[in-house]
Amino acid sequence: MYVHLLSTRLLNHLPARELEELGGHAYTPNLNLIIAFDALNVFAVVTLSTIFLTAWFSRQVRRVSTWFLYIFSWAIFSLGYLLILGNQTGPPPRQGLCFVQAMMIYATPAFASTSIVVFVLQIFIDIRQALVSERIHKDHVPVLIAIPPVLFFAIISEVLFLGLNEPETIERDVSGMFCHLSIPLPSRVTGVIVLINILIMVILGVLITTTIRRNRETWLNLRSNNAHSFNLVFRVSLFILAPVIATGIVVVNFLPHDKVNISKVNVTYAIRTLTPSLSEDQSTHSTLQCQQQQV
């Protein structure tokens, strides 16, 4: 997930006019790759929306509120990349629509990555309460839930201000897949936020692992009551490894442009949307078991 969040920010600061020449020849959008990119995002929106609505209306399925925010943020993340669907080749899309997508492109990575942090922070708090019997007042939940949306609208406001002052910077990406601004500032702001979230994720992963190790006996008892609980450790490990993978992709973005196929990189980014839908269930079961253990 973080591969897309971080790498897209660093890639998008390159204006289309600087990327039109790759390897000494004009770059032409690849229709097949655009279709693959759109299909992956449509699949993500449909899958995540189904998961969200099923959990929302189900009386038997229990989900923590931060989980709903986590799934919702990724659905919005993917939806943002579909706003110029049908206008990715040929004449540029209407500037207003292109501008709206540009705002989404910069705001949703921060929204989604912060939602992940909030969700895992909730998991950490529940584990602390279950294993260490540390009581934390429930007032923290509304505060946690408010952080990602506030950040989202703050970045929307930033890009709105920049776009209105420099409308000529609003353009379709050279790959044809989405719109962005040709100036580096919004990419850098979002990139810094994502980097900070990566750091927080690593810290939370270490804290969760340390808490479990120090309370191994209690954890084993918890695991014996619920086989799904062990999946939480595996999930946290994946979150810790994700920044390492993202760093590798970042290195690719600094290679000479003639060595990087922009469209193919964008398509690999779209695959990241499969992660929330394929892995959400295990962590949720583990979190709920921790909450039940507190009673």
* Residue of 59, 120, 126 whose CA lies nearest to 292: 126
First to last CA, the chain: 34
Residue 260, domain CATH: 1.20.1070.10
Write out the E strands in 84-182.
Answer: 170-172, 179-181
Can you give the pLDDT of all 295 residues of the chain as single tens digits?
Answer: 444 444 444 444 444 444 444 443 445 778 888 898 899 899 989 999 999 999 899 877 778 888 899 899 989 999 999 999 989 988 999 999 999 999 999 999 899 889 988 988 888 888 877 777 666 666 778 888 999 999 999 999 999 999 999 999 999 988 888 999 999 899 889 888 888 888 888 888 888 888 878 877 766 666 555 544 455 555 555 655 554 455 445 444 444 444 445 555 555 555 555 555 555 544 444 444 454 444 3
The total number of structural domains that make up the chain: 1
Total Cβ atoms within 10 A of residue 141: 16
Sign of CA dihedral 87, 92, 96, 98: positive
Query: Which tokens in the block code for residue 60?
Result: 């038997």
Determine contact, residues 162/107, Cβ cutoff 8 Å.
Answer: no
Torsion of CA 99, 177, 252, 104, to 10 degrees: 30
The structure's pTM equals: 0.76
Question: Whole domain around residue 286: which residue ranges?
Answer: 2-294
